[in-house]
Amino acid sequence: MTNVLIAVDETEASVRAVETAHRLFGDGASYFVMNVGSSRMESAMAWGSSYPLSAPYGPNYSYVDGAAMVDLPSDRGFAEEQAAGVAKEASLPEATPLGDVGDPASAILEAARQRNADVIVVGSHDRGWFSRLVSGSVEKSILHDSDLPVLIVKERSEDEARIR
């Protein structure tokens, strides 16, 4: 049986990636649909300050090497719900939804290793040059660092779809 890990976000490209993976690998494969989010605490502001001290605030934090790490279980749950929603929208409800928080490429590669994935599927969508310059591409990081085959499903624009 083929184990397929599909990395998704909230875009339509992710729905297409799930549909394409299902079309290619069929009903006999095991599907894991994974969304990786950032911690809401981390993205808001994980540090509060009160002169002369600064300290992390919030209900769930821990220290790793002296630095506060915010890791809220609800954030993982939210990411898992997002993954389940994409699988449902792509008509693949039997997929196992996975959610994690942190660096998307690292989390996806670790999940693929833990679940003995045979292939990683990633949806790709067009971004502007500035967006590519400022933030790296998750699919490029996965492609570069993976020991597994990586299938990148590129979303075509309406014009490209009409030409082909």
Burial of 97 (0-12, 13-18, 19+ CB in 10 A): buried
pLDDT in tens, 55-81: 444 444 554 555 555 554 568 999 999
Question: Which domains are present in the chain?
Answer: 3-37+72-163 (3.40.50.620)
| Beta-bridge partner residues of 49 | 54
Distance of CA 118 to the CA centre of its chain: 17
Question: In this structure, are residues 37 and 10 in contact, taking their beta carbons and an 8 Å threshold?
Answer: no
Residue 127, pLDDT above cutoff 80: no
59 vs 36, higher pLDDT: 36
Average pLDDT score over residue span 144-163: 75
